[in-house]
Amino acid sequence: MPHTDLFILIAVFLGGLFFYRYRERILEPLRRFDARNRARRMEEIQSRRDPYAHYRQTLALAEEQIEEVAKIREKDVQTGETVERYLFLGEVYVTLKEAEDARFAAVVEKAREFYKDLDRIYLGRQPRREAMGDRPSTEEVRRPPP
């Protein structure tokens, strides 16, 4: 039994040395996780106050679903020299700004499709007035009887 206590003490000591030696490698991912968590919480707090936060969140979600602009190298038709071009959705752009503008337009269009789908889903469920016939209106239903 006394040897067991000694082995446990040595294991704890070696574990402490290991942690001390590699503490930055161990703690850095935890710090990054904590920083991302704090940023997410602050964003949630700001989103509660901002009436347009859902638009920003929809754009961010759509941006995740659209591919990035890729940098490619190809020969210039006029000079024959190798130049950098930018590829987005199979189309080659001369400047990064043109490619980023095309990507942003695709992101906005994807977000608009999301809202169109919401309208189609939720507004499509509402009964039409002519289909309702003699049914009382919602105002008539809400009014208490005299």
pLDDT in tens, 31-54: 999 999 999 999 888 888 888 888
pLDDT at residue 8 in the model: 92
DSSP state of 140: H
The model's pTM is 0.57
Pick out the chain residues at pLDDT < 50: 131, 136, 138-144, 146
Express each pLDDT in 125-143 by its tens digit. 665 555 455 554 544 444 4
Q: How many CB atoms lie within 10 A of CB 107?
A: 19
Residues whose CB is less than 8 angstroms from the CB of residue 94 and which lie 6 or more positions away in sequence, other chains included: 85, 86
Angle between helices 53-65 and 96-118 (to 10 degrees): 120
> What pLDDT, on the 0 to 100 scale, is given for residue 140?
47
Distances from the Cα of 83 to the Cαs of 72, 99, 101, in angstroms?
Answer: 8, 15, 20
Other C-beta atoms closer than 10 Å to the C-beta of 131 total 7
> How far is residue 48's CA from residue 64's CA, in Å, rounded to a whole number?
22
